Structure 1
């Protein structure tokens, strides 16, 4: 039996904090890192890595990420066949010096009644574009009336960066850039956002559109159990004909499993070190400790940990057959992070994320 654990956000971003895990009791994670065979691959977008894990070929072109994420939304009915979608996530734009920067919202910051009012206003004003809907307060969608002939950049690529470097490209680029400006005006002037600003709260003053791609046949099904809460990964799994469940370590140990743990992703993106440390300590208790025990006892034949980050992707392969190699000493996470070379600036436009 083997488990593949994908943990985006485990590698703390290079731009901040040396020793982010200092003082945390991460003995099981340190044992797994030290015991395993480690490799470090160049930066690759998270969605491209998830696609490859689910069997999509590298040369498949722009993936329909919005349609896939919409498919993976547990709170919404399955989308109709043949629909074209965009993710239309609410964001807050603000100026920092001469740059317009974008930040997303956590799941609990926008109130459901405010979201309902904003979505209703968008549908009244932009009915020619299609239909807006909200799966959660921070995950919205646009079901397009006509396919978008433009390329868009995923939200996670843009957080905290100058928006001007990630505007839509392609045949209808100017149309969609103008549309995004009009969306900003409508949202900025809405009473919900006026009230939020008056109360000192961040306004949802724009939408970030992304994830366009022509729907096409799903990748071939993979013969493993899929565990994930992330709706994009759930969508990949469902499109491939796989059963997908909520992450649960005990159930993962019942058979070969691919598990995506996204607990650390948003705290890492937002440099929220307190939340990152709290969640990492929880993962140590709920995942790394029982998996280390399973490897030592040979209940688990092999464990692979994949940790995509802004510097690259760490991979650790731990095998039960190697557990007796006492000279492989535990390697604390902070020590590992210090050993990783500083990030090389990745190109702002890369086809794997459009």
Structure 2
């Protein structure tokens, strides 16, 4: 088997740049606890910074706001400088040694069939092990090869796919569909209808193949949900080889809690984040160091940067502080 070329090593995150996914969420349970958040360091930090950009979207975009913000920060844009189209951020290609080759991530998952919809649980939420995933991968890879897609085992929950059928495919990110009905989220592309149809057929073949595989019965016997399909995300290719720019620091605790719909854990994660990363950013801002903060929800994102620190700017901040600064959760409820 040929050895895949090594992917370029990602540059280390830039200091004093923080991008927070799922700083808010659209679930009613999240909105109900939002006003109860006590985030003194975030409130003080927002008073020190100036807003610069707002990314306004909705709950139906294929790419989440934190994915769009990260793509912009790392330079994943088209040759004309515009942002990638919705659902077409080529994450798999960008992380490879051949970024102009169409690539994607195939994530084994469990499709939960309800009375009126089908929802998705990703592999990390159903306890998918390397051993189980490897057996399914080895059985499924030849099917992909027949259709011009080379599959490589990257981890239990993410398989790397490459091949021309993946060019121009618009697909919802795994974060977007996790725990949600998948109707209307299936991969599609007017520019590549053949590729879209091929992926739908592969998903159907995977469903039948995994159902009859010994791993299915073995997991069921252990009381675990079976793997009965895979999800496509991060598809596409870069127009030209472009080294990734250093990324901001991206904490994952809020995201993990939100994807599990564990809003008590989400509140705890916010309190911990406020006491650590947010506090460090506040101290840096007060030292006069350049600081960037991006808060992302499920609809939009907002970015703040260090405000000017000349005499008039300090006077303006003093006047604003005298009027009182709004609680931090007010900045989160519109995301």
Normalised by the shorter chain, which TM-score bucket? Answer: 0.7 to 0.9
Partner of 2:138: 120
2:204 is equivalent to residue 155 of structure 1: no
Partner of 1:200: 223
Listed as ranges, the matches of 1:7-156 within 5 Å are 7-20=20-33, 26-38=39-51, 40-43=54-57, 45-46=64-65, 47-55=67-75, 56=77, 57-58=81-82, 62-68=88-94, 70-71=95-96, 79-80=97-98, 83-106=101-124, 109-129=127-147, 130-144=149-163, 147-148=166-167, 150-156=169-175
How far residue 264 of structure 1 moved from its aligned partner, in angstroms, is 2.0
How far residue 283 of structure 1 moved from its aligned partner, in angstroms, is 1.9
Q: Which moved more, 1:178-187 or 1:261-270?
A: 261-270
Helix, strand or coil at the partner of 1:135: strand
How far residue 263 of structure 1 moved from its aligned partner, in angstroms, is 3.2
Question: Per the alignment, do residues 178 and 58 of structure 1 end up closer, same or farther by CA in structure 2, a change over 3 Å counting?
Answer: same
Partner of 2:267: 277
Alignment check: 8 A CA contact 2:26 2:298 kept: yes
Question: Per the alignment, do residues 294 and 65 of structure 1 end up closer, same or farther by CA in structure 2, a change over 3 Å counting?
Answer: closer
Partner of 2:307: 319
- 1:119-161 residue CA offsets vs partner (Å, 9 max, x unmatched): 1121244431433233232222223375556433322232233
How far residue 215 of structure 1 moved from its aligned partner, in angstroms, is 3.5
Tell me the TM-score normalized by structure 2: 0.75
Helix, strand or coil at the partner of 2:107: strand
Partner of 1:248: none
CA distance in 2 between counterparts of 1:26 and 1:19 reads 16
CA distance in 1 between counterparts of 2:70 and 2:199 reads 27
CA RMSD of aligned residues (A): 3.2
Alignment check: 8 A CA contact 1:303 1:319 kept: no
Q: Which moved more, 1:193-202 or 1:324-333?
A: 324-333
Partner of 1:288: 278
Question: Per the alignment, do residues 106 and 29 of structure 1 end up closer, same or farther by CA in structure 2, a change over 3 Å counting?
Answer: farther
Question: Per the alignment, do residues 197 and 274 of structure 1 end up closer, same or farther by CA in structure 2, a change over 3 Å counting?
Answer: farther
Question: Per the alignment, do residues 311 and 150 of structure 1 end up closer, same or farther by CA in structure 2, a change over 3 Å counting?
Answer: closer
2:291 is equivalent to residue 303 of structure 1: yes
Listed as ranges, the matches of 1:260-275 within 5 Å are 260-275=250-265
CA distance in 2 between counterparts of 1:33 and 1:208 reads 38
- 1:64-122 residue CA offsets vs partner (Å, 9 max, x unmatched): 22212x43xxxxxxx45754322101121112331011122338922121122221121
Helix, strand or coil at the partner of 1:140: strand
How far residue 218 of structure 1 moved from its aligned partner, in angstroms, is 3.7
Question: Per the alignment, do residues 282 and 136 of structure 1 end up closer, same or farther by CA in structure 2, a change over 3 Å counting?
Answer: farther
Helix, strand or coil at the partner of 1:183: helix
